[in-house]
Amino acid sequence: MNTLYRTFVQVVEHGTLSEAAERLHLTQPSVTRQLQQLERTYGTALFDRTGRKMLLNRAGQRVYQTARQVLALEQRLADELREFADPEIGTIYIAAGLTPSIYLLPPVLAAYRDKHPKVQFQVQSGSSKEVLEMLHTGAVDMGVVTTAESNADLTLTALVPDRLLLVAAPNHPLLPGGAVRFSELSEWPMVLMRPESGLRSIVESIAMSTGTKLQIAMETDSLESINRLVQTGVGLSVLPQSAVADDLTSGRLVEIGLGDVELGSRTITLATRTGSTLPANAARFAAALPGLCRQSAACYN
């Protein structure tokens, strides 16, 4: 049908069968047959023929409007599908956890766009659970998370480790006292992520294993808020190194060493749908992402 529409629109816009035939690289009889086929399809004449002139009638005007819309949609679809095959254009859709979306991805995306300026990014942030839900529904091309359990539906690629640190304001009474035992933290207020977060679970697991009752002064879902609250002396906190690197360097925060436990690290991970075919731009970015993340992480490790 679109072939008939295309011929019909050319005849209308160029006024004669011969001009339309030349534009379409067809013979004039072929153009005539296609117009006749379109009229048979709709069961009505689309032109008023007066001598050699062909004037659109009311039915023809309506078909012309629809034909233009259909052909425009077809062209738009072709352009969008071309983006799937061209790694240098189009939008990449990413969902990312709070830590990578704030601290890791911004310099990584900027570095990638320096080399691929026609590629655009749309980034949504949320908890690791929310990120993986967006990935499962196909709302995004990939997810970047700090907590992901391996399963058959996901392909996981480790990007960078992100060490966990106990941090305090520079004037905290525990400083400069050297390494402390985790159980000693029960004497001091702490600022932590909300209970449903993976980071909070790690801290509570260590507290349970050491018999420590945490004194929680504040809880929030923002790493940036925790960082600022610790700086103002509200309490201690356990934060990923990526979130505090600049503040440690500048002296706004200080790391407190622990002598009896290791806080460990979280691995920032790329998640994609197993068996899913990524658009060419997303596939190229996913392949480059581990190297870009390592370069970025070198700034704080």
Q: Summarize pLDDT for 146-183 with one digit per residue, the tens.
A: 877 778 889 999 999 999 999 999 999 988 767 899 99
CATH number at residue 194: 3.40.190.290
Average pLDDT, stretch 256-285? 92
CATH number at residue 72: 1.10.10.10
Q: Flag whether pLDDT at 54 surpasses 90.
A: no
Q: Flag whether pLDDT at 299 surpasses 60.
A: no
Per the CB < 8 A criterion, the answer to whether 260 and 209 are in contact is no
| Residue 123 and residue 99 share a domain | yes
| Residue 143 and residue 106 share a domain | yes
Question: For position 2, what pLDDT does the model report?
Answer: 84
| Residue 241 and residue 167 share a domain | yes
Question: For position 80, what pLDDT does the model report?
Answer: 75
| Residue 271 and residue 259 share a domain | no
Q: Flag whether pLDDT at 208 surpasses 90.
A: yes
Question: For position 254, what pLDDT does the model report?
Answer: 95
Cross-strand partners of 47: 56
Q: What is the DSSP letter of 182?
A: G
CATH number at residue 130: 3.40.190.10
- Residue 174: count of CB within 10 angstroms of its CB: 16
Per the CB < 8 A criterion, the answer to whether 17 and 10 are in contact is no
CA distance 292 to 287: 10
Q: Which domain holds residue 13?
A: 2-84
Instruction: Quick: pLDDT tens for 2-45.
Output: 889 899 898 888 877 888 888 888 898 998 899 899 999 999 99
CA–centroid distance for 101 within its chain: 9
Question: For position 217, what pLDDT does the model report?
Answer: 95
Encode burial over 7-18: b for 16+ CB neighbours within 10 A, e otherwise.
bbbbbbeeeebe
- To which H or E segment does residue 17 belong? helix 17-24
CA distance 78 to 67: 16
263 backbone φψ class: left, alpha, beta (φ>0; ψ -120 to 50): alpha
Closest CA to 285 of 274, 301, 272: 272
**What's the total number of domains in the chain?**
3
| Residue 274 and residue 138 share a domain | yes
Q: Has this prediction a pTM greater than 0.95? A: no
Instruction: Quick: pLDDT tens for 107-161.
Output: 999 999 999 999 999 999 988 889 999 999 889 999 999 877 778 889 999 999 9
CA–centroid distance for 148 within its chain: 17
Q: Flag whether pLDDT at 53 surpasses 80.
A: no
Average pLDDT, stretch 263-284? 92
| Residue 249 and residue 114 share a domain | no
Our CA angle for 266, 190, 160, nearest 5°, is 15
With 0-12 / 13-18 / 19 or more C-beta atoms within 10 angstroms meaning exposed / middle / buried, residue 43 is exposed
Per the CB < 8 A criterion, the answer to whether 203 and 282 are in contact is no
